[in-house]
Amino acid sequence: DGDSLSDSWEVENHLNPLDPSDVDVDSDGDGATNREEYQSKSDPNDPDSTPNWTMFQGNAGHTGFLPITVDDARFQHIWTYNPDIGELSRAVAAKGVVYVTGIDSNWSRTLLAINAVSHTRKWIENISSDYLQNVISAPSIANDLVYIYYNFAGSNPWLANSNIQALNSSNGTEVFSTELSGFNSYETSPTLFDDELFINQNFSIDGINAINGAHQLKKSDSELSNSAWELAVDNDYIYS
């Protein structure tokens, strides 16, 4: 029908491949048209499958792009929430929940989940308190898990180590915690790609299995000195 949607995709998702007008219909009422659902590979019949902002700049390539057209009439201030957990990270969102970390004046580090519709607290989890190390990343989301990176003092309190922690996105319970040698002086957040997680540290890149936390990669190099930026990842390369 010339509407830019694959006929097979339309049939599979109960649309009419002979009707070009259904391209601009929001079949599941989630705010995304069928064209936007097709472009983002989400389910046009599932309101919980729309594109989410799951990590720094939205995706592993850090392009800041989501294939959604914003309706000016709906783009307005809806609510404000004061989490009272200190200085806040960048927020991420998925499946109707907003996630943010914070660190207060006592170096207490916290991860908070907020219901995006009712703007009420869904759950809160204390991560750690360490007056010698005050780094905690913004969250990243994949596989129904929330991932954070933070520094902590090891046996030598002046030489930090770091941790990747994964928590259940529904209730905040810990799924795994992986200790890494080295640290980052900046609050860079994990980059998720397929079932792998990558983090930029001072003079090194680490990769772990995003499902079970197994440490899979350690690349150390004196040229990897700028750890202030999140890693970008595609099918072939890691960009630092």
pLDDT above 70 (res 131): no
Q: How far is CA 221 from CA 131, 193, 202, 203, 216, in A?
A: 29, 22, 9, 5, 17
Q: In this structure, what token pair is assigned to residue 153?
A: 């003092």
Name residue, tokens 């001072």. Answer: 202
pLDDT at position 59: 84
Tell me how many degrees the CA angle 95-96-97 measures, rounded to the nearest 5: 95
3-state secondary structure of 174: strand
Which carries the bigger pLDDT value, residue 117 or residue 145? 145
Give the separation between CA 99 and CA 142, rounded to whole angstroms.
12
pLDDT above 70 (res 70): no
Mean pLDDT of the chain: 86
pLDDT band at 112 (very low <50, low <70, confident <90, very high): very high
3-state secondary structure of 150: strand
Give the separation between CA 31 and CA 50, rounded to whole angstroms.
8
pLDDT at position 116: 84
Handedness of CA 79, 65, 53, 179 (dihedral sign): negative
3-state secondary structure of 229: coil
pLDDT at position 126: 93
pLDDT at position 154: 61
pLDDT above 60 (res 4): yes
pLDDT in tens, 184-210: 777 889 999 999 999 988 888 999 999
Which carries the bigger pLDDT value, residue 1 or residue 79? 79
Q: Phi and psi for 22 in degrees, rounded to 5? A: -75, -5
